[in-house]
Structure 1
Amino acid sequence: MAAPHPESWIRVTPQGLYCEPGDFFVDPALPVARAVITHGHSDHARPGHDAVLATPETLAIMAARLGEGGPRSPQPLAYGQSVTQNGVRVTLVPAGHVLGSAQVVLDWQGSRLVVSGDYKREADPTCAPFEPVSCDVFVTEATFALPVFRHPPASGEVRRLLDSVSLFPDRAHLVGCYALGKCQRLIALLRQAGWDRPIHLHGAQASMCELYGRFGIALGELRPVPRPQKRGETVLPGEIVLAPPSAEASPWMRRLADPVTAVASGWMRVRQRAKARGVELPLIVSDHADWDDLLATIAEVGAPEVWVTHGREEALIHALAGRGVRGRALHLLGREEDEDAAPEPEPEPAEGASA
């Protein structure tokens, strides 16, 4: 008997992607009894679930970010290990997006579907690299699924940042970056590029850096941004400060010495967006696959059918049709790029933190 098509056992519901024989959801947008979570970003890891299966790192991130809203019954599953739920085998493999991010491999009666979550293919010293898994249906993101989005190597963008620091030694460099994943990746890339001085953090960034440290990701010396000693004074000329992107429009940045404003995001490829935000130094550093890597990944997994979610579905589906691959837009709700989220309130300065 032929294996059942995944369309017969995986369906889209108001809560999200539902595995019917296993009776669980993947990255549900609403609270559910059983969920498998791909990674800790807030548009995938929602509060209020009962039982949650995820990597140990993702569960730790959820506990730190959600507090009492975290899963009531967390179930850690390491990469490459499997559990079976009502006959459905669930395996988590690295997605290369952020610490603990996983693809969800679902096997049922000889049929295989892979939910990639968010992923990237470029090397990242702070998380395990993406592992392609052959499958019958591949569920892919499409955040940057337009040919204009071809990301340059992140190491070159970090070199541009360091060149600017050398060029403007009397100015602080304030880099807007999302607190989970992008911040830690930038720090690691700066260390690889030879920047061994302390890196200063907005208070919203510190807790995730500490969590990365607990999982063995060395980030070097990290310090909070000090308050000026006197009214009218500024701090940190010649230093690098990392903060949520929206912090650049807040009074908080006035303490910095004539800051060069930078944002690290795949969206910085769009010059109009950088200009509209007044970004002086746009850095094209993305934690998502670009156009070429999306197409290469889909070819590598060899799925004859691809389901596309959150992003530029139409462009990717059109491109896949020309390659003989059937595409389907899932139109899942609540999926969005999280890099422009408002910063959390900054805690009072403490002594230097390291991770």
Structure 2
Amino acid sequence: MAKSLISKTEFGIYCAAGDFYIDPHRPVPRAVITHGHADHARAGHGAVLATGETLDIMRIRYGETFAGATQKLTDPIRLGGVDLRLVPAGHVLGSAQVVIEKGGRREVVSGDYSRVANPACAPFEPVPCDLFVTEATFALPVFRHPDPLNEINRLLASVRRFPERAHIVGAYALGKAQRVIMLLRQAGYSEPVYIHGALQALCDYHLSQGIALGDLRPATIETAQARALHGAIIIAPPSAFGSAWVQRFADPVIAFASGWMQIRAHARRRGVELPLVISDHVDWPDVTRTIRQVDPQELWITHGREEALMRWAVLEGRHARPLHLLGYDEEPE
């Protein structure tokens, strides 16, 4: 088997021929960032290369000086001894896979990715390759995500059933919050959607990129006290559930939008009354379908359910290895 262009290091995945790291979890001289979630996009690198949207999102989250230098990757570039390009990952706005080529060999680091249509970002692009690095967040046969529009219709049914109660939906600030709002609009919900202040900047950025979120209003203490939010849908980061903010609302329906809501014990631990199984990651059918599509000789598996996917790969006759990378999890709040 040919020598890989990338390797696992204590900082994350490293390409020696191009002298860059991919989504390193500590500051490095040069980093290629797949997307703006905080467990992949950290501040303090000497230089960051990413899509324009990811660079903008990092500026919103970390300030203008989040890196020593930045470079927007729109077209393929030559970096050291390798050709480097980014292709869509379908995960969140600006998300990308990293495609590295040298001497006829192609390796793809997919980052986090999804195969379900998401109007906030370009769809995942399968790239046939010699080595494919895949996430395994939901890589167990039990994880088969339902149609997200059906989950949103469950939310709307609850709003009709309990018109006197506000519905507070927990959703991560980047990607999931906007996805829930867009699904509501797709389902025909034209009422204002109220948002926690922590979501404002990223929602404003999505709007600036032409992503139609409709009428958004702040979920302030004034609107809560004026009872204007009875029967309303409010989107908030998960951290808000443990804060004094949520106590402003009388008897709200607590919902949560996540692929983990398929596991009822997760919902119970969070005190979730209405679990919504809405994910921006591949489930078991989609991760296995994707691997067959890109058809790599070698498969590397990161942050997630590595053992099940390793076993599946062996049965498929593929060479696979778990990376056991540390520092990657769900979006921190």
TM range (shorter): over 0.9
Shift in Å at residue 135 of structure 1? 0.1
CA distance in 1, matches of 2:320, 2:294: 14
Q: Name which of 2, 15, 18 aligns with 1:5.
A: 2
Q: Name which of 307, 310, 326 aligns with 1:333.
A: 326
Q: Name which of 165, 172, 180 aligns with 2:174.
A: 180
Shift in Å at residue 87 of structure 1? 2.4
Question: 8 Å contact 1:100–1:127 — kept in the other structure?
Answer: yes
State the match for 1:77 in structure 2.
73
The CA RMSD measured in Å over matched residues stands at 1.4
Shift in Å at residue 249 of structure 1? 2.5
What SS does the aligned partner of 1:169 have? Answer: coil
- Report 1:154-173 matches (<5 A): 154-173=148-167
State the match for 1:350 in structure 2.
none
- Report 1:180-199 matches (<5 A): 180-199=174-193
- Report 1:57-206 matches (<5 A): 57-67=53-63, 70-78=66-74, 81-206=75-200
> Where does structure 1 differ by over 2 angstroms across 4 or more consecutive aligned residues?
4-7, 228-231
Give yes or no for the alignment of 1:32 onto 2:28. yes
Residues 187, 46 of structure 1: alpha-carbon distance in 2 compared, 3 angstrom cutoff: same
Structure 1: gaps (5+ residues)? 343-355
Give yes or no for the alignment of 1:296 onto 2:293. no
What SS does the aligned partner of 1:72 have? Answer: strand
Question: 8 Å contact 2:167–2:255 — kept in the other structure?
Answer: yes
Shift in Å at residue 324 of structure 1? 1.0
CA distance in 2, matches of 1:48, 1:94: 25
What SS does the aligned partner of 1:321 have? Answer: helix
State the match for 2:216 in structure 1.
222
CA distance in 1, matches of 2:169, 2:296: 39
Give the share of equivalent positions with the same residue, in percent.
Answer: 57
State the match for 2:231 in structure 1.
238
What SS does the aligned partner of 1:99 have? Answer: coil
State the match for 2:242 in structure 1.
249
1:123-149 per-position Cα deviation (integer Å, ceiling 9, x unaligned):
111111100000000000001111111
Give yes or no for the alignment of 1:43 onto 2:36. no
Give yes or no for the alignment of 1:17 onto 2:10. no
Task: Report the AA paired with residue 142 of structure 1.
Answer: A
Task: Report the AA paired with residue 85 of structure 2.
Answer: T
Question: 8 Å contact 1:234–1:257 — kept in the other structure?
Answer: no
State the match for 1:348 in structure 2.
none
CA distance in 1, matches of 2:266, 2:223: 36
1:58-115 per-position Cα deviation (integer Å, ceiling 9, x unaligned):
000011111155122110012xx20001120001000000000000000011111000
Shift in Å at residue 16 of structure 1? 1.1
What SS does the aligned partner of 1:135 have? Answer: coil
- TM normalised by structure 1 equals 0.91
Q: How many residues align?
A: 333
